Amino acid sequence: MVDTHSVLDVLRPVQDPELQKSLVELNMIRNVKIDGGTVSFTLVLTTPACPLREFIVEDCQKAVKQLPDVEEVVVDVTAETPQQQSLPDRQGIDGVKNLVAISSGKGGVGKSTVAVNVAVALAQTGAKVGLIDADIYGPNTAAMLGLADAKVMVQQGPQGEVLEPAFNHGIKLVSMAFLIDPDQPVIWRGPMLNGIIRQFLYQVNWGELDYLIVDMPPGTGDAQLTLAQAVPMAGAIIVTTPQNVALLDSRRGLKMFQQLGVPVLGIVENMSYFIPPDLPDRQYDLFGSGGGEKTAQELGIPLLGCIPLEINLRQGGDRGLPIVVAEPESASAQALIAIAKAIAAKVSVAALSRH
Ligand SMILES: Nc1ncnc2c1ncn2[C@@H]1O[C@H](COP(=O)(O)OP(=O)(O)OP(=O)(O)O)[C@@H](O)[C@H]1O
């Protein structure tokens, strides 16, 4: 006779490939029901953006079908994103589970493009996502999300003023662009930065979020320090380009995050190769090749993906329609979606392995 115990027993050897632990021991199998020859249960993944969802479901089905008289296995998939560990000297944000910084050694490498598309790709999987644009030099994520004319509403809450984030493409957004005068010189924006970052963290009506993504200013400056010292971070991502010089900048970024106790979850190489729109099967390595791979190897952190240089990606940004929404089948969108899933997987592994 098949019963709940025998189902859990055959599922026990099935592991989560990222965490390398039994799904049963991780409490990811719940609500086992048996109805004649049909076994059903809920598989609770550690992120809605799980890149290995199909493999895990297939492994579960195969395992349960070993039992006698089982004709059908119905797996209902949901997700509960784990909360990153709290740190005694840093103040978490109520309702926000994981904060991920997107950084780069220098400007113009596509950090904002990555931040916006990763955020939207995560939201497309069903995750609850917020985005902070903390880039004083080029706060352009609002425009990339079609929110160039948005204004933040200030509400009076029990603890003082609270900002209501703007919302589009499934993303809650607050941006330096909403608060600063675009004609104001960067040198005057600098001193405001720390205060604004703290306000963006703690005085925004974020609600419940699985991921809060922060688009950092380029380099290793005050914003990084303020953020890392104020709030516990799930990790940082370093965006780079294939050129050799980028290695040096990335190394500096890695050192800084390590000194601040922030795990660097991986490197993303942008503008890896050019795909001409009229010859989509061709690839040109405009900036050389293998730089991201080499950087990742030398720094001992994973390469999470490579994004091609595509005209549509820039046009999407200019039109306020991220490429993962406008052309999800394009090579750059596919790369960004895979990177978003890889980031989500790394965040889950980091959160669960520290518990
Ligand atoms: N893979 C790509 N293909 C085509 N265009 C791209 C790609 N990545 C970025 N771009 C374009 O390059 C420009 C710079 O990108 P982005 O603003 O994302 O860089 P950044 O690193 O955030 O820059 P900054 O430091 O100024 O904030 C934008 O116009 C963007 O649309």
- Contact present, 47 and 348 (Cβ < 8 Å): yes
Q: Which residue has the tokens 């195969």?
A: 62
pLDDT at residue 276, rounded to an integer: 83
User: What distance in angstroms lies between residue 170's CA and the mean position of ligand 1's atoms?
Assistant: 21
Sketch out the chain's domains with CATH numbers.
4-79 (3.30.300.130), 96-353 (3.40.50.300)
The Cα 7–Cα 154 span in angstroms is: 53
Asked if residue 220 has its Cβ within 6 Å of ligand 1, the reply is no
Give the residue, out of 214, 215, 268, 314, with the most ligand 1 atoms within 8 A of its beta carbon, to mutate for a pocket test.
Answer: 314
User: What distance in angstroms lies between residue 264's CA and the mean position of ligand 1's atoms?
Assistant: 21
How do strand 29-35 and strand 96-104 relate by DSSP bridges? unpaired
Asked if residue 110 has its Cβ within 6 Å of ligand 1, the reply is yes
- Global model pTM greater than 0.90: yes
Residue 200 is which amino acid?
F
User: What distance in angstroms lies between residue 65's CA and the mean position of ligand 1's atoms?
Assistant: 49
List C-alpha distances in Å: 62 to 66, 147, 288: 7, 47, 44
Asked if residue 107 has its Cβ within 6 Å of ligand 1, the reply is yes
Asked if residue 111 has its Cβ within 6 Å of ligand 1, the reply is yes
- Contact present, 102 and 218 (Cβ < 8 Å): no
Asked if residue 175 has its Cβ within 6 Å of ligand 1, the reply is no
HSE-CB for 254 with a 13 A CA cutoff: 19
pLDDT at residue 189, rounded to an integer: 66
Asked if residue 332 has its Cβ within 6 Å of ligand 1, the reply is yes
The Cα 250–Cα 8 span in angstroms is: 45
User: What distance in angstroms lies between residue 247's CA and the mean position of ligand 1's atoms?
Assistant: 18
pLDDT at residue 188, rounded to an integer: 66
Residue 344 is which amino acid?
A
pLDDT at residue 246, rounded to an integer: 66
pLDDT at residue 193, rounded to an integer: 80
- How remote is the C-alpha of 247 from its chain's centroid? 22
| 109 labeled part of a ligand binding site | yes
pLDDT at residue 267, rounded to an integer: 93
Q: Give the pLDDT confidence of 239-267 residue by residue, as tens digits.
A: 988 876 667 778 888 888 988 889 999 99
Asked if residue 218 has its Cβ within 6 Å of ligand 1, the reply is yes
Q: What's the ipTM?
A: 0.97
Q: Give the pLDDT confidence of 2-30 residue by residue, as tens digits.
A: 889 999 999 999 999 988 999 999 999 99
| 24 labeled part of a ligand binding site | no
- Positions in the chain short of pLDDT 70: 186-191, 244-246, 354-355
